[in-house]
Structures are given as C-alpha cells and as structure tokens.
Structure 1
Amino acid sequence: MIEDDPIDEISEIEARIEELAEIAERCRKVVLASKIAIGGGVALLFIALLGLLGPSPVAALGSIALMLGGIVSLGSNVSTLRVTDAAIRAAEARRADLIGGIDLRVVRDAPVKLM
C-alpha cells in the first residue's frame, strides 16, 4: 500500500469495517441463542425439580449443562462483540480522519441553458 494515497487506505478500511460488521452480527446471533439456551435450561431444571418429567436426574444434569454452556457462550461472545464494536469505531474514526485530510474540490452544476 502506498501511504501517499489515502483513497486506497480508505477502501481497505471500509472493507475491514464490513468484515467486522459481519463478525459483530454473528456475535449478536450467538448471544441471542445463548440467552435462549440459558432460559431453556432454567425452564427444564424447574420442570425437573417439580417432577413433571419423572424421577430423572438426567434432565436435571442436562438442564444444568445447558445453562452453563449458555453462560460460557454468552460471556465469550459479549466480550468479542465489545472488542469488535471498539475496532469498528476506531476504523470509522481513522476513515473519517483520512477523508477529512483529502483536498476535496467543490463541483458545481453547470448552468442550464434554456432553448
């Protein structure tokens, strides 16, 4: 990359922002799935404790595993989402600085000639 050409760097930054936005969207989806898993685990544990599934320790252990897995996944993806959002903000700030540093010309409309 030539450092004298900010247009190329802006294009690369925009491509990176798009990549980061895709990562952030995946994290949001996993965060939602994790919350659903935690809620499902809580519901299953409650049902198992009430004895509605019969005397089965498997349901209780499964619900605990579902909750723990959801909590771990939630924590991991929330932290990844925070880092990704920070990277997006930094890239957007850099892009704005580069755009602000370009000597832009004002293009005016040509006068309209009436016949």
Structure 2
Amino acid sequence: MIEDNPVDEISDIEDRIERLAEIAERCRKYILASKIAIGGGAALLLMTIFGLFGLGQTAALGSIALVLGGIVSLGSNVSTLRQTDEAITAAEARRAALIGSIDLRVVADAPLKLV
C-alpha cells in the first residue's frame, strides 16, 4: 500500500480550509442581509399597521413575506455557518496532526554572507 506524501495532503487540507473559509464568509454576509430584511420588513409592517404614509394591504403582505423570508434565510445560513466552522476545525486538527507526524529537522544557523 502506497502512502500519500504528508506534504501533499497538508496542501490539500489547506486548500479545503480556504474554500470553507470562503463559504463561511458568504454565510456571514447572508446572515447580515437576513437581519436587515427582518428589520426592514418589521418596520414596514408597523408603518402599515399604524397607517403611516398611506401604505396598503399589499405593503403589509410584502412586509410579512420579507420578515418570514428573512427568518428562514437567517436560520439556514446560521446552520450552514456552524457546520462549516466545525469542518474547518476538523480540517485544522487533521493538518496539525499531519504536521506533527512529519520528521522535521532543525536547520543550524549559518552566518549571513553579505554580497
């Protein structure tokens, strides 16, 4: 059985960590947008309820849809972010284990040559 080179596996893990970090950042942006949608929908609903600016039933239905859509999006992205963070933690642990298994040598300090 041929063993993979740990350096190659470490490189693959680092690529995976970078991809997961991009996914996590995207989730954070969607979470922020979801919170804004919930807040905006709630504000629009309150304005509709109190009759401000002459908003009608369409605005009320739209604001309810905005709040509900924001809640669904928020929940989905928070869940995905948690799973992604767990995957990053596992990949970092695997990378650390692989680095620890490599037989590293200490390179002696050599005098610097000025050219």
Instruction: State the match for 2:81 in structure 1.
Output: 81
Instruction: State the match for 1:37 in structure 2.
Output: 37
| 1:5-20 matched pairs, under 5 angstroms | 5-20=5-20
TM-score by length of 2: 0.93
List alignment gaps of at least 5 residues for structure 1: none
CA drift at 1:4: 3.6
Which secondary structure does the structure 2 equivalent of 1:86 belong to?
helix
Partners of 2:47 and 2:55 within 8 A in 1: no
CA drift at 1:111: 3.6
CA drift at 1:82: 0.2
CA drift at 1:110: 1.3
Larger displacement relative to structure 2 (88-97 or 2-11)? 2-11
The one-letter code of the counterpart of 2:78 is V
Change in 2 beyond 3 A, CA 1:39/1:112: closer
Instruction: State the match for 2:103 in structure 1.
Output: 103
Change in 2 beyond 3 A, CA 1:45/1:96: same
Distance in 1 (alpha carbons) for counterparts of 2:109 and 2:55: 81
Identity among equivalent positions (%) equals 77
Segments ≥4 residues shifted beyond 3 Å = none
Instruction: State the match for 1:47 in structure 2.
Output: 47
Distance in 2 (alpha carbons) for counterparts of 1:74 and 1:111: 58
For the aligned residue pairs, the C-alpha RMSD in angstroms reads: 1.6
Which secondary structure does the structure 2 equivalent of 1:58 belong to?
helix
Distance in 2 (alpha carbons) for counterparts of 1:111 and 1:40: 65
Q: Does 1:59 align with 2:89?
A: no
Which secondary structure does the structure 2 equivalent of 1:106 belong to?
coil
Distance in 2 (alpha carbons) for counterparts of 1:79 and 1:6: 32
Distance in 1 (alpha carbons) for counterparts of 2:107 and 2:34: 51
- Cα-to-partner distance string for 1:36-93 (whole Å, 9 max, x where unaligned): 0000001000110110132611111110000000000000000000000000000000
TM-score by length of 1: 0.93
CA drift at 1:112: 5.5
CA drift at 1:3: 2.9
